[in-house]
């Protein structure tokens, strides 16, 4: 009421008014707000920092890195179906910070991998420069927070795959100088110095040079990303590193038995390290049913290849017939939340983040079709009993702590 001396307008003249208003706000029972409203309230104040988005790769693949051929202010549906990201969807999803993935194919010759990695870094730099009203380059936790306070999407660079440095500490240092703030130790193939999760092992984890790479990353302040690496590599890194690690786009192996996911033996070590698993939306990593279907499809395809040698049409027909009889299971938003539940149970709430892998997959879970859908996932967590403080940690608090940990490690005298 206008005449009430304790109305919001009436309180504004007193120094203690903000504290009173905060107490009044928190006195309202949380049940008064829907899960969706609670999620949006939290994300409006503490937007999502996502660990992995492959839009730069899509820009290279679809447009040859030519920014005159598209406009992130509004992509057509057929393009958005591949990037899952443009400025309107990012704003709708409360995206506050993004590690833009700098990805090049794992099988490239070393010199070509290095060249193309630098080209991809340039894509990210161009994207930031062309949309300064939306994006702000960030290389530290403080710069991320400053960008978000200005209402911009803090844009960081993540280098996906140790092949990107051509087995050279000199290149590692120069990619850091160009802005790379994490490096995924491997991608799909084992490198000269580290074993991948999806390739034959050569080193039982890290080679001696691999340990040198981790030490140099610690010295620089570059975060070690353990997505894509073998379990032995995970343990070797945790034995060596002095800084917190990230899994920028991985899930829990106990929920979905995929080698790209994180086993409990590693999750149990994260409290001591301070690291974070940024839960991803890749269907095969998310849904156990989908993973089993992929196993069975691979077996059918292998059998068809033998049965129809020299007859590719027959081979394809056999696989297509099996798929028609066995429809592909869809991953769901609820299954992504199941992975968050498990990681919280084993490692703790301080070790969970979000790394959607938007732009890096052909399909996404039902309910998480593009970057506008983060609030739906956080609403599901509210329904499962997660507090506002929990949501803040998952959205950005844990990711910022890892950044600060890497920076603090680099700042220590040697």
Q: Which pairing describes strands 180-184 and 223-225: parallel, antiparallel, or unpaired?
A: parallel
pLDDT at residue 25 above 90?
A: no
**φ and ψ at residue 35, rounded to 5 degrees:** -55, -40
Element (H, E) at 277: strand 276-279
Q: Which of 190-199, 222-231, 307-316, 396-405 shows the lowest per-residue confidence on average (mean pLDDT)?
A: 307-316
Range of the domain at 268: 34-287+330-411
pLDDT at residue 3 above 80?
A: no
Separation CA 30–CA 150 (nearest Å): 29
Domain-located, residue 342: yes
Looking at residue 218, its pLDDT comes to 98
Q: Give the CA-trace dihedral at 286, 247, 103, 411, to 10 degrees.
A: 170
Is 339 a known active-site residue? no
The pLDDT-based confidence of 226 (bands split at 50, 70, 90) is: very high
Is 357 a known active-site residue? yes
Average pLDDT along the chain: 93
- Cβ contact 197:207 at 8 Å: no
CATH of the domain at 54: 3.20.20.140
Q: Which of 50, 86, 338, 357 is catalytic?
A: 357
Closest of 201, 183, 196 to residue 243, by C-alpha: 183
Distances (CA, A) of 389 to 21, 142, 279, 385, 393: 19, 21, 18, 11, 6
State pLDDT tens for residues 45-56. 999 999 999 999
Separation CA 323–CA 335 (nearest Å): 23
Distances (CA, A) of 162 to 29, 98, 219, 228, 243: 49, 20, 17, 10, 18
Give strand ranges (E) for 171-261. 180-184, 223-225, 246-247
Separation CA 410–CA 120 (nearest Å): 25
Element (H, E) at 98: strand 95-103
Q: What is this structure's pTM?
A: 0.91
Domain-located, residue 241: yes
Looking at residue 5, its pLDDT comes to 30
Looking at residue 414, its pLDDT comes to 81
pLDDT at residue 182 above 90?
A: yes
DSSP annotation of 139 reads -
Looking at residue 156, its pLDDT comes to 98
Q: Which of 7-11, 30-34, 128-132 shows the lowest per-residue confidence on average (mean pLDDT)?
A: 7-11
State pLDDT tens for residues 119-136. 999 999 999 999 999 999
Distances (CA, A) of 117 to 23, 74, 159, 275, 389: 50, 27, 8, 26, 37
Domain-located, residue 265: yes
Looking at residue 11, its pLDDT comes to 34
Q: Which of 50, 160, 315, 338 is catalytic?
A: 160
Is 187 a known active-site residue? yes
State pLDDT tens for residues 318-374. 999 999 999 999 999 999 999 999 999 999 999 999 999 999 999 999 999 999 999
- Cβ contact 90:153 at 8 Å: yes
Domain-located, residue 376: yes
Q: Which of 54, 86, 231, 315 is catalytic?
A: 54
**φ and ψ at residue 3, rounded to 5 degrees:** -90, 0
Instruction: Using alpha carbons only, give the angle 344, 244, 260 rounded to the nearest 5 degrees.
Output: 60
Total number of domains constituting the chain: 1
Looking at residue 388, its pLDDT comes to 98
Q: At what angle do helices 110-130 and 169-177 cross, to 10 degrees?
A: 10
State pLDDT tens for residues 76-119. 999 999 999 999 999 999 999 999 999 999 999 999 999 999 99
Element (H, E) at 252: none
Is 249 a known active-site residue? yes
State pLDDT tens for residues 283-297. 999 999 999 999 999
DSSP string covering 44-93: HHS-EEEEEE-HHHHHHHHHTT-GGG--TTS--HHHHHHH---HHHHHHT
Domain-located, residue 9: no
- Cβ contact 164:136 at 8 Å: no
Is 122 a known active-site residue? no
Looking at residue 60, its pLDDT comes to 97
Q: Which of 57, 187, 203, 339 is catalytic?
A: 187
Domain-located, residue 304: no
Is 342 a known active-site residue? no
Average pLDDT over residues 295-317: 94
pLDDT at residue 9 above 50?
A: no
Instruction: Using alpha carbons only, give the angle 56, 57, 61 rounded to the nearest 5 degrees.
Output: 120
Is 54 a known active-site residue? yes
CB proximity list for 149: less than 8 A, separation 6 or greater:
none
- Beta-bridge mates of residue 155: 98, 137
Q: Which of 57, 84, 249, 342 is catalytic?
A: 249
CB proximity list for 413: less than 8 A, separation 6 or greater:
none
Looking at residue 383, its pLDDT comes to 98
Domain-located, residue 212: yes
**φ and ψ at residue 275, rounded to 5 degrees:** -75, 175
Domain-located, residue 299: no
Looking at residue 145, its pLDDT comes to 98
Closest of 141, 151, 136, 143 to residue 45, by C-alpha: 151
Element (H, E) at 238: helix 231-240
State pLDDT tens for residues 149-177. 999 999 999 999 999 999 999 999 999 99
């Amino acid at each position: 009421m206008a005449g009430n001396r304790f109305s919001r307008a009436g309180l504004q003249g007193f120094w203690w008014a903000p504290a009173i208003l905060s107490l009044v706000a928190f006195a309202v029972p949380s049940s008064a707000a829907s899960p969706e409203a609670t999620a949006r309230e939290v994300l409006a104040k503490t937007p999502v920092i996502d660990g992995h988005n492959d839009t730069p790769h899509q820009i290279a693949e679809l447009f040859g890195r030519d920014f005159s051929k598209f406009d992130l202010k509004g992509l057509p549906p057929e393009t958005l179906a591949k990037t899952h990201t443009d400025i309107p969807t990012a704003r709708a999803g409360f995206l506050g910070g993004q590690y833009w993935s700098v990805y090049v194919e794992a099988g490239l010759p070393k010199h070509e991998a290095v060249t193309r990695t630098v080209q991809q870094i340039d894509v990210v730099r161009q994207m930031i420069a062309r949309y300064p009203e939306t994006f702000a380059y960030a290389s530290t936790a403080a710069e991320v927070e400053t960008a978000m306070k200005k209402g911009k999407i803090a844009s960081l660079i993540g280098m996906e795959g140790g092949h990107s440095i051509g087995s050279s500490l000199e290149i590692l240092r120069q990619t850091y100088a160009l802005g790379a703030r994490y490096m995924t130790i491997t991608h799909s193939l084992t490198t000269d110095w580290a074993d991948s999760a999806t390739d034959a092992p050569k080193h039982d984890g890290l080679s001696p040079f691999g340990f040198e790479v981790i030490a140099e990353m610690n010295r620089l302040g570059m975060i070690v990303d353990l997505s894509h690496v073998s379990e032995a590599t995970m343990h070797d890194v945790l034995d060596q590193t002095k800084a917190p690690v990230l899994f920028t786009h991985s899930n829990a192996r106990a929920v979905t038995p995929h080698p790209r996911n994180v086993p409990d033996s590693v999750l149990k070590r994260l409290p001591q390290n301070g690291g974070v698993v940024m839960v991803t939306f890749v269907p095969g990593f998310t849904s156990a049913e989908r993973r089993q279907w992929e196993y069975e499809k691979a077996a059918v395809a292998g059998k068809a290849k033998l049965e129809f040698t020299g007859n590719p049409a027959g081979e394809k027909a056999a696989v297509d017939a099996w798929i028609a009889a066995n429809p592909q299971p869809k991953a769901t938003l609820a299954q992504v939340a199941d992975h968050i539940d498990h990681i919280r149970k084993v490692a703790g709430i301080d070790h969970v983040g979000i790394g959607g892998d938007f732009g890096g997959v052909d399909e996404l879970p039902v309910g998480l079709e593009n970057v506008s859908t983060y609030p739906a996932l956080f609403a599901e967590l509210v329904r499962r009993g997660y507090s506002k403080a929990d949501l803040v940690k998952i959205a950005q608090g844990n990711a910022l702590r890892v950044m600060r940990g890497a920076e603090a490690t680099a700042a220590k005298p040697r």
